[in-house]
Amino acid sequence: MSWRDRFTETEWNTLRLSPFAAWVFIAESDRNTSINESFTQGFQAERLASKGELLGEVVESYQDEPGMFALSEQLGLLVRSCQNREQAMAIAVANGVALTREKLGDTEADLFRDQLGEFTRAIAEADRDGVFGLRVSEAEASAIQKVLAALKLN
């Protein structure tokens, strides 16, 4: 049984929105980062790190282009209903972890949360050559801390 089979369509979309919202928040924090490159690098890093895990299957599902468009629309609706993008990101990642905890228990929820934190770091480090010794800009570092705070990882 795949991870996807354990969730309703609505629940699966909630899970898919969690890493997507974190990715967009990180990528938009520093306009010098190529959004497509950052996601490609983060996707590759997470796919290797979480083979067979829930987050790996969630991120793998992003290859479905119509699904990505739907996620963009879903995130846009969430952002418009919130005070700002940070609040929308925090709600999206918290909802994904809470749903995982409710459906799969504490162990899987903690693993999903921890891997989402690593995925966030991988997104920020993508497409960087360490200019002036920095792999992550100050803006990205700040955004990472906000995602980790939303995940309760810092």
Q: Dump pLDDT digits (tens) for 13-62.
A: 999 999 999 988 887 887 665 566 566 656 665 555 556 689 888 888 87
- pLDDT band, residue 130 (cuts 50/70/90): very low
Residue whose token pair is 């963009």 = 72
Query: What are the structure tokens assigned to 137, written together?
Result: 């800009």
Question: Rounded to whole angstroms, how far apart are CA atoms 35 and 92?
Answer: 19
CA distance 97 to 101: 6
For 54-104, how does the pLDDT look when each residue is reduced to its tens digit (9 = 90+)? 988 888 887 776 777 888 899 999 999 998 999 999 999 999 999 999 999
Q: What is the pTM of this model?
A: 0.84
Judge whether 125 and 12 are in contact, CB under 8 Å.
Answer: no
Best CA proximity match to 109, nearest among 3, 8, 2:
3
With cut-offs at 50, 70 and 90, classify the pLDDT of residue 128: low
Identify the three-state secondary structure at position 8: coil
Half-sphere exposure (Cβ direction) of 81: Cα atoms closer than 13 Å: 11
What pLDDT does 24 receive? 86
Mean pLDDT in the chain?
83
pLDDT of residue 62: 79
